[in-house]
Amino acid sequence: MIQFIQGQRIYLRALEAQDAEGNYPVWLNDEEACAGNSHHVFPYVREKAQAYIEKANRASDSLILAMVLQESNQHIGNIALQEINWIYKTAELAVLLGEKEHWGKGYSLEAAKLLMTHGFNALNLNRIYCGTFETNVGMQKLAKSLGMKQEGVRRKAVYKNGNYLDLIEFGLLREEFTL
C-alpha cells in the first residue's frame, strides 16, 4: 500500500480495488454509519464500490482518499476534498468513518487536518467548506474543531428517513487555518 499523506496514527492513501472487497461497501449499507450523510438510500454493492474507486482515481475535481490505521493497515473510512473549483480555489470536505469501533477517537480530526493542510499548501486552495445535516452533531463538532466558521443554514434542504432537514454550512479560509 502506497502511503500518500502520513499522520501520527493514520495515513491517507488512494482508494484501491481491494477496498471494494473489504468493509467499505458495508459502511454505505449501514443506516447508523450513514445517518449523517446522503448515503443509505439505495443498496450499495461491491460493483458500485469498484466503479466508484476507478472513477475517484481518475478524477481531477476531487481527491478521495482512504483513512488507514498505521498500526494495523485497517481501512477505517474515507476522506475527500471534492467539488474542487480550480478557478475559485475552493473544495468541499467530506468524511466517512465507517468502522464504528473507531468513532470518537479523533481519527477524522487527524485525517481532516492532514488533508486540509495538503489542500491549502499543495493544491493552493483558498477556501475549504462542508455542509452537514442538522442532526449530524459529530460533523458539526469536527468542523468547529478544524476552526471552520458557520456560514449559513440551508433550510429543509435535505431529505433523510422521512424528514426534511436543515443543512448547516461551514467554511474556512487559508489564512484562518492553523494546526
- pLDDT, one tens digit per residue, over 119-172 is 999 999 999 999 999 999 999 999 999 999 999 999 999 999 899 999 999 999
pLDDT of res. 158: 94
Q: 3-state SS of the chain?
A: CCCCEECCCEEEEECCHHHHHCCHHHHCCCCCCCCCCCCCCCCCCHHHHHHHHHHHHHCCCCEEEEEEECCCCCEEEEEEEEEEECCCCEEEEEEEECCHHHCCCCHHHHHHHHHHHHHHHCCCCCEEEEEEECCCHHHHHHHHHCCCEEEEEEEEEEEECCEEEEEEEEEEEHHHCCC
pLDDT of res. 59: 94
Domains along the chain with CATH numbers: 5-176 (3.40.630.30)
pTM: 0.93
